A and B are shown apart, each in its own frame.
Chain A
Amino acid sequence: MSEGGTHLAIAAARSGATVAPTSTAGDADLVARVRAALAGVPDPELPVLSVVDLGIVHRVEATDDGIRVDILPTFIGCPALDVIRDSIAGRLAVFGRPVAVETTFVVPWTSDRISEAGLAALRSAGIAPPAAPGETRCPWCDSGQVVMDSAFGPTQCRSLFYCRGCRQPFESLKSV
């Protein structure tokens, strides 16, 4: 845990905040441009995916006064959150107005939020997409003859597998 306060600022669950059911607000054209820019921000731990493909962008609000992006952590204690916040703020700096990136748990991030493009990108990087128990397939050879070595892998969101088909180890995104 960082002691600087930024990490603990996941506090964000901002007790007073109200969240509209829509995922965007403000100037529609500006919001669209902001979303397009976010599609170019890679996830630091899975750089083959953008934060949009990973499904962690919950809400974008953009007006002349500023831009606010609410993100959903994949895992609550994800140490990459600060990097993600900084990357988003850096990418959106071109819009020339204040940018706030907030963390929210108003809906849980679930693995089915990953886009089709995101799932394909994961496979191409040798990481199996999230799957129900027993349904994981090898990202290299598509075999279903796989065994989980450990539910816990190099990051909080990944598990370790071995493929008996092509005899390769691989990782899988946890299903949450």
Chain B
Amino acid sequence: MTAVAARPTALAGLLRSMADDEFVIGFSDSEWTGIAPILEEDIAMSSLSQDELGHAAALYGLLATLEDGDADALAYDRGPADFRHARLLDHGRGDWAMTIARRYLYETADAVRLAAVGDGAWPPLTELAGKIAREERYHVAHVELWLDRLARADGEPRDRLVAALTALGPDAGTVFGPLPDEAGLVADGLLDAPMEVLETRWRATIEPRLRGLGLPVPPPTRDRDTSRTVHDPAFTELWSMITSVRRSDPGATW
């Protein structure tokens, strides 16, 4: 608890980055409900998205305890410029190959991040991160299966996957963009290493699989310093959809 008292702003920055990531990818991939390539994937993407939105809700809830705020307001009442998700997630769901590529890059990065906060100094976050990690194992297994399937199918599936990984590549590492007072987070034991170190761990986990499948490995991160602060205009469109119901009748109870 002393960690919180000492550096609530740094902890809030970490929570916000995690919550926004889960919120944005959960909302974005939920667009597949009903239109995924096969029925099982309609269900799978809906279930995955429901998990992510649940994680986001719980993380916003923790953030609300720090900022004396309200989780719904954190999720719905901020403008698009105030979101701190990784720029990787500004790329829309695109086609199925793009969705799989984006989810593969994100889920593997999220797993590394969860491990890095999982033994941290603030029990509410470590407890939640441990629980989230148990659910995310299913996500990683699922997306790895699809990555392999698309990569091993000759022709269009593979071509689309390569194109998607190539397009996402420069933004792939933005999950590990710098956080506010990151040195403080590490010093207080909320994060077991700086984000650059986590990125190295992540690359070591994904590169053998990608190379083994003959797929492109993400290049160094483009504009790393603004990974979470400068967003693509495409996000404004998604934000508009996410918040449209809330904005249609501010203050209403649904």
B40 — which chain A residues lie within 8 A by C-beta?
149-150, 152, 160
The proximity string for B residues 27-67 relative to A, scoring 1 for CB distances below 8 Å and 0 otherwise, is 00000000000001001101110111111111011101110
Least CB distance from B77 to A in Å reads: 11
Q: How large is the interface on B (under 10, 10 to 19, 20 to 34, 35 or more residues)?
A: 35 or more
B131 touches A105 (CB 8 A): yes
A141 within 8 A of partner (CB):
no
State whether A15 touches B4 (Cβ < 8 A): yes
Instruction: State which of A3-11, A21-29, A114-122 sits at the interface with chain B.
Output: A3-11
Are B65 and A14 neighbours in the complex by a CB distance under 8 Å? yes
Task: Tell me whether A152 and B43 are in contact (CB under 8 A).
Answer: yes
Interface residue B232 (Cβ < 8 Å from any Cβ of A):
no
Residues of A within 8 A of B130 (CB): 105, 108
Question: Does B55 contact A15, Cβ atoms closer than 8 Å?
Answer: no
Are A1 and B61 closer than 8 Å at their CB atoms?
Answer: no
Q: Does B148 contact A (CB under 8 A)?
A: no
B246 within 8 A of A: yes
Stretch binding the partner chain, chosen from B68-76, B150-158, B207-215: B68-76
Q: How far is the CA of A149 from the CA of B41 in the complex (A)?
A: 11
User: Do A151 and B142 form a contact, CB below 8 Å, given A156-B47, A156-B50?
Assistant: yes
Report A-chain residues with C-beta under 8 Å of the C-beta of B128: 13, 76, 105
A1 touches B57 (CB 8 A): yes
Tell me which residues across on chain A come within 8 A of B47, comparing CB atoms.
Answer: 152-153, 155-156
> Hey, which bits of chain A sit against chain B, CB under 8 A?
1-5, 7-16, 75-79, 105-110, 149-156, 160, 174, 176
